[in-house]
Amino acid sequence: MRLTTLVILAATYLVPPDRELIQRSDDIVIATAVATSVEERPDHSIVTRSFLRIEEVLKGVRARDSHLVLTEPGGRLGDRAQIIPAAPRYEPGKRYLVFTETDEQGETHTLGMQLGRFALDRDLALRGAIHGFDPNLEPYRERTRDARGFIDYIRAIVAQRAAEANYFSGVAQAFLPAPQASSPYSRQSYLYVSDIPVRWQDPDVTFVTTGSVASIDWGAATATAMAQWNATDTNIHYRHSGRNDAAANGFTPDGINAVQVHQQSGSGFVLASGGWTTSGNQYTFDDELFYDAAEADVVATDWQGVPLTPACWNSLLTHEIGHTLGIRHSDYDLADINPCTTPPLDCSNDAVMEAFLNCTANGALQPWDRRAATTVYCVPPSITTQPHDQQIGPNNPSVRLSVEAKGTLPITYEWFAKPAGATSFTSAGNGARNSGISATT
């Protein structure tokens, strides 16, 4: 049986203030993860169940020393996997502050996916890479929280007492773009890595669009975002072929690469996410192992009452389309959990792929983005068809030699010739791709 993997790389959130997160949660607990299990549902989707032992109850009716079972989408089961990095995971033995919600089927989930999971590390409450907007539609930047101060604030809000959110201890570490023009880092170092990273073996891909956004031309914005990645010195060739409402909603594999937008009233947490499906086929490229991508999708929600500017939509689309290429956040690690450190990773806090939505960029790639694309998708040139041997003589005083090659454009050639009686070859000029050079006696 072939491994089938669905990857949803990252989410763009409308991040609520902590007060709203507290008020909307069903339960808030401090707990230690003890075990996980992976199950397949009747519809063949995969879920991961995390079992946590409750140490302290901040909200809700759960009891201390009881177990909390969280059901989250995705996981690996035998030779099948559904990998969803935006879905929260709990590592056995580690302590967490968890905000939960319970669905109509009675299953309990982390509220707002990554938004409701805080790892308790020393004196801090840490959330992973959060990309999106605050309630004022300003780009959101995650800040670290003092754990005890945050917990005291939660208790006060639950008890309906006055409280100030004065527990923030700083912002995520910032990084300057690396100065090099070309990257010394590996392809895998720019990709989200679960077990084996996913990379298009041939990123020549056609997309359709579905849905519409009142403030922008959705198809044109999609094409503009794709053009940013196409303009890198790579073999990336994403194209928009028009509207096709036959594309399945969400990330259901249907053989159609789609950039979707859905209308929904009210406010919510997830504005957009991007990812792909892979058949599980593995290949090696320059001694690095990858899964080959088979289908890519971007899913966005046009929340009524949350009017994003065209510049913000452009940056959001370029960012999410970058995730369909496999590219990670520029300022977080390969698992999207910890702030990026350099070395061994190339890090930047000035990139479209940063976990901070840069609306002022208007979707334009920055140096880090271009380095990532060039490293991951630059194909070394190789000769596919050598020139055919030809003779030059009195009856055939000139011939034309041609060569064919593959690799990232532009490709140029240097030709060498050795005249009769000469002992070595000398340069005979340069040529562009698929061009030839004349030789004369």
- pLDDT at position 95: 97
Which domains does the chain carry?
15-171 (2.40.50), 188-377 (3.40.390.10), 382-440 (no CATH)
Quick one: 327 exposed, middle or buried, by C-beta within 10 A (0-12, 13-18, 19+)? buried
- pLDDT at position 7: 57
**Close Cβ partners of 331 (under 8 Å, ≥ 6 residues apart):** 129, 172, 174, 175, 339, 340, 347, 348, 349, 351, 354, 355, 356
Distance, in Å, from the CA atom of 109 to the CA atom of 4, rounded to the nearest integer, reads 24
| Token pair 């995971």 in the structure block, residue | 89
DSSP bridge partners of 383: 405
Question: Which amino acid appears at position 305 of this protein?
Answer: G
Q: At what angle do helices 310-324 and 218-230 cross, to 10 degrees?
A: 50
- pLDDT at position 436: 42
What is the reported pTM? 0.77
Per-block mean pLDDT, blocks of 10 residues, the chain (441 long): 54 90 96 95 84 97 95 78 76 96 92 92 87 83 92 97 91 60 81 81 94 86 95 94 86 84 66 76 88 86 75 91 92 81 84 88 95 89 78 75 71 70 65 44 33
Distance, in Å, from the CA atom of 294 to the CA atom of 210, rounded to the nearest integer, reads 20
Reduce the DSSP state of residue 190 to 3 states and report it. Answer: helix
- pLDDT at position 75: 79
| Token pair 């840069």 in the structure block, residue | 358
